[in-house]
């Protein structure tokens, strides 16, 4: 298990910025980053898509930059939920739910070449999105894991999953 975590820590090939509050995001104004050569990813725990989608749209409207990928966790969707969509994006929604409070939605810009697949990891809801970009392949694994589920079993599953995909492309775990 430690080998997998060490390898993830040592194989970072992308620059990343983490913001605790979405309002703190300043589009790399303090850095010289060409966003046309980058993939921007916004990840939020929405804690009920249906309840908070309007607030999400307000937050997104504050920015002149359109994120390439938007990952939402703890979506709380069920078979009776309204249709999930966003203009300009292809949407992927998990079908395999652990309980009523989990869920993952991934929106990917329709300008990107993309495919997706649900991944089974112990105690987690996961969607893997393959994005062909800049002559390479980015594999984005979006995960929601309830804190009540066994962390060690999840890490073991994640390690096995990643071990089986070495050399396939660049991985990003969200």
Mean predicted confidence (pLDDT) in 107-133: 95
Mean pLDDT for the stretch of residues 109-125: 95
The answer to whether the CB of 140 falls within 8 A of the CB of 172 is yes
Is the pLDDT assigned to residue 128 strictly greater than 50?
Answer: yes
Query: Is the confidence at residue 152, as pLDDT, over 80?
Result: yes
Q: What pLDDT score does 99 carry?
A: 76
Domains plus CATH for the chain?
Answer: 2-173 (3.60.10)
Sign of CA dihedral 25, 72, 92, 163: positive
**pLDDT for res 62:** 85
Q: What tens digit of pLDDT does each residue of 154-170 get?
A: 999 999 999 888 878 88
Number of DSSP helices (H) and strands (E) in the chain, helices first = 3, 8
At residue 26 the predicted structure's pLDDT band, cuts being 50, 70 and 90, is low
Q: Can you tell me the mean pLDDT for 109-118? A: 96
The residues, ordered by sequence, that sit 6+ positions from 139 with a Cβ below 8 Å of its Cβ are: 128, 129, 130, 131, 165, 168, 169, 170, 171, 172
Residue 118 in this model has a pLDDT that exceeds 70: yes
pTM for this structure?
0.84
pLDDT for residue 12 is more than 60: no
Over residues 67-99, the pLDDT tens digits come to 999 999 999 987 766 689 999 999 999 987 777
- Inter-CA distances, 89 with 27, 109, 152, 153, 169, Å: 20, 4, 35, 34, 23
What's the chain's average pLDDT?
83
Task: Give 12: exposed, middle or buried? Use CB within 10 Å, 0-12, 13-18, 19+.
Answer: exposed
**More confident position, 105 or 4:** 105
So what's the pLDDT on residue 38? 80
């Amino acid at each position: 298990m430690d080998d997998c975590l060490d390898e993830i820590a040592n194989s970072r090939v992308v620059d990343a910025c983490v913001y605790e509050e979405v309002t703190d995001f300043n589009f790399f104004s303090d850095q010289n980053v060409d966003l046309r050569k980058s993939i921007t990813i916004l990840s939020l725990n929405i804690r009920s898509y249906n309840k908070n989608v309007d607030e999400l749209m307000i937050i997104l409207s504050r920015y002149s930059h359109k994120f390439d990928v938007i990952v939402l966790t703890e979506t709380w969707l069920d078979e009776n939920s309204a249709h999930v969509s966003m203009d300009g994006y292809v949407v992927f929604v998990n079908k395999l739910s652990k309980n009523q409070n989990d869920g993952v939605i991934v929106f990917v810009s329709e300008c990107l070449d993309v495919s997706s697949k649900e991944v089974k990891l112990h105690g987690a809801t996961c969607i893997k999105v393959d994005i062909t970009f800049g002559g390479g392949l980015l594999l984005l694994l979006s995960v929601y894991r309830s804190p009540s589920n066994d962390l060690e079993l999840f890490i073991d599953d994640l390690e096995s999953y990643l071990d089986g995909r070495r050399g396939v492309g660049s991985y990003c775990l969200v």
